[in-house]
Amino acid sequence: MEASFYLYTIVVMLVCVASGSVSLSAYFVSRRRSFLFAAAMLLFYFLDLALIFQYEYLGQNVEYSINQFYTINHPQLKILLALGTLEPMWLILCDFVNERRRTWRLVPALAFIAVSEIVVLCLPVDEFRQWLFYTPRQVFLLWCLAFGVYRYCTARNEVEKARLRRQEPLFFVTSALCLCILVEDVGMILILDASFFANADLLPLYISERNFSENILLLALSFFTLRAAADTLRLRSKEPPSTDAPDTQEYVDELLPAFCERYRLTSRERVILEQVLQGKDNQNIASSLQLALGTVKAHVHNILKKTGVSTRQELTQLFWKG
């Protein structure tokens, strides 16, 4: 049993490290902050698992009392590690829906810390306290999901709704696993009697502070992170991807509507931008679209002004950042 938990924990930790490393690489290529947040999320969850792993390893050499089943070890450190895992998820969502208000970005984190500290400091050590300590994690996740649904319902146009709908697999996987986490916590902490493990050697030690559904959720998030990071690394950002590269036009078609909507580009400016992304100069764009050279120059100038960049290279980099 000990060997199984050992290998299981090692695998989850390795996946977090690998996914975080790839995500960090994607950030350095694209400078897209969502990848930096994802790397932070996976790093903090790795540290959270490492803390549990250390506790289990040290516990093998000491006598374990069943009364410790509901004990929360290093609660302040656990709050910090949990926040380091959850807050990046929220920041990724805020970036995706272009939520820039600092208050909205910080309040959920502050509320999480406050509730967790109240539980630790004000409640007696029992199963209800332990359950309340871990439940704010799921509440935080549910808040993220609910905010995503709210932004979808209040989206001003079909382009933004379509962009959000493409995240449906991530939304449904996260929702299902969040529900599983809640059910597992209720079953293992509130319903199951700790005395059931009285003769189970170190089994209570291994299940008292871990949630397997939560582990699966982070593995799923690692998969989505790896997929997005791999796409970004393949396309690069410092120079326009070759028009002959596989899937390039597909990604342009996917990103272009939302990009134009974000910066309020007109339909004509959208056509010009697509030509710029193909690496064409003003003369070639004018010939391709049968426009006057001065007209093309004016449109390119307006695009640069609206997007807040000064060169075509910066415009291309901004586009491929998402």
Over residues 187-201, the pLDDT tens digits come to: 888 887 655 555 545
**Whether 7 and 66 share a structural domain:** yes
- Inside any domain, residue 47: yes
> In this predicted structure, which of 24-38, 78-92, 224-238, 244-258 has the lowest mean pLDDT?
244-258
Of 187, 210, 225, which one is at a domain's C-terminal end?
225
Looking at residue 59, its pLDDT comes to: 55
Looking at residue 64, its pLDDT comes to: 52
Residue pLDDT, tens place only, 38-92: 999 999 999 998 888 777 665 555 555 555 667 787 899 999 999 999 999 999 9
**Whether 76 and 8 share a structural domain:** yes
User: What is the mean predicted confidence (pLDDT) over 15-35?
Assistant: 89
Q: Identify the band that residue 93 occupies on the pLDDT scale cut at 50, 70 and 90.
A: very high
- Inside any domain, residue 235: no
Of 172, 194, 225, which one is at a domain's C-terminal end?
225
By residue range, what is the domain housing residue 122?
A: 2-225
Total number of domains constituting the chain: 2
**Whether 108 and 175 share a structural domain:** yes
Token pair for residue 39? 């790397």
Of 210, 225, 240, which one is at a domain's C-terminal end?
225
**Whether 305 and 219 share a structural domain:** no
Distance CA 93, CA 164 (A): 11
Find the CATH number of the domain harbouring 91: 1.20.1070
pTM for this entry: 0.73
Crossing angle of helices 248-262 and 267-277, in 10° steps, is 140
More confident residue, 63 or 118: 118
Whether residue 182 has pLDDT greater than 90: yes
Distance CA 95, CA 34 (A): 7
- Inside any domain, residue 81: yes
Looking at residue 208, its pLDDT comes to: 57
If one counts every other C-beta atom within 10 angstroms of the C-beta of residue 287, the result is 12
Provide long-range contacts, Cβ within 8 A and 24+ apart, for 139-147: 140/86, 140/90, 140/108, 140/112, 141/86, 141/89, 141/174, 141/178, 141/181, 142/178, 143/90, 143/108, 144/89, 144/90, 144/93, 145/171, 145/174, 145/175, 145/178, 147/93, 147/97
Q: Identify the band that residue 181 occupies on the pLDDT scale cut at 50, 70 and 90.
A: very high
**Whether 102 and 22 share a structural domain:** yes
**Whether 299 and 165 share a structural domain:** no
Q: Identify the band that residue 246 occupies on the pLDDT scale cut at 50, 70 and 90.
A: low
**Whether 134 and 95 share a structural domain:** yes
**Whether 158 and 296 share a structural domain:** no
- Inside any domain, residue 13: yes
Round to the nearest angstrom and report the end-to-end CA distance of the chain: 46
**Whether 252 and 221 share a structural domain:** no
- Inside any domain, residue 306: yes
Distance CA 164, CA 147 (A): 12
**Cα→Cα distances 251→157, 244, 285, 301, 315, Å:** 20, 13, 21, 24, 16
**Whether 78 and 115 share a structural domain:** yes
**Cα→Cα distances 139→39, 82, 117, 118, 244, Å:** 22, 12, 15, 16, 46
